[in-house]
Amino acid sequence: MEAVSMQQRKKIHPHKFTLWIAIGSIIMMFAGLTSAYIVKSGQPNWQDVKTPQVFWYSTATILLSSLTIQMALRSFKQREMNRYRQLMAVTMILGAVFIVLQWNGFMQLWNSGIQFKGVAGAGQFLYVIFGLHALHVLGGAIALIVMLIKAFFGQTKTYASTGIEVMATYWHFVDILWIYLFVFFIWIK
């Protein structure tokens, strides 16, 4: 009986397994897109892009939101529900600030002439790659809203932390993905 119990504890939860499969797929997609960017950037008509300063602020914001969601997870596990709710709210606010800062950064790029036109130039790659990242962040923000609603209005009968663990892992992933993309575009231009 004890061996079966130990075996069950070693299994990964289906939601976590699904998340890791999705993360692997997303990583492969972005690796392909950034590889294509490197290949295309060697062409003679390639236009370099100056990174707007606001992207530094958005990077700090998403890093801070990663910290707050990790603190929220810890608070949930310690059954400090008021602190958990507060930290989830702060994470949601930071996520919204990140989205607004990203929008401002891309509006600056657009207004500086880096647009989605021409022969597969930097603008097209930037908007496709960052647009896909934005969709993933938006999905995370929607999940944060759902978690926040559950935190404030749901009944906590059990303290199963799988949902918040999955959410935190995904949020950390979009954070790391943004940092990768940001560093990539600063160095590759």
Please give the average pLDDT of every successive group of 10 residues along the chain, which has 189 residues.
59 85 91 86 76 93 96 93 94 94 90 69 77 89 88 74 89 94 83
Domains of the chain, with CATH numbers?
16-188 (1.20.120.80)
- Both tokens of 69, joined, read 């969601």
Closest alpha carbon to 137 in 16, 26, 51, 17: 26
pLDDT at position 8: 58
The confidence score (pLDDT) of residue 118 equals 59
Q: Express the helix, strand and coil content of the chain in percent, nearest 5 each.
A: 80, 0, 20
Query: What's the start-to-end Cα distance of the chain, in Å?
Result: 59
Phi, psi of 145 (to 5 degrees): -60, -45
Q: Which two tokens stand for residue 47?
A: 């236009």
Q: What is the pTM of this model?
A: 0.82
- Cβ atoms of 50 and 109 within 8 Å: the answer is no
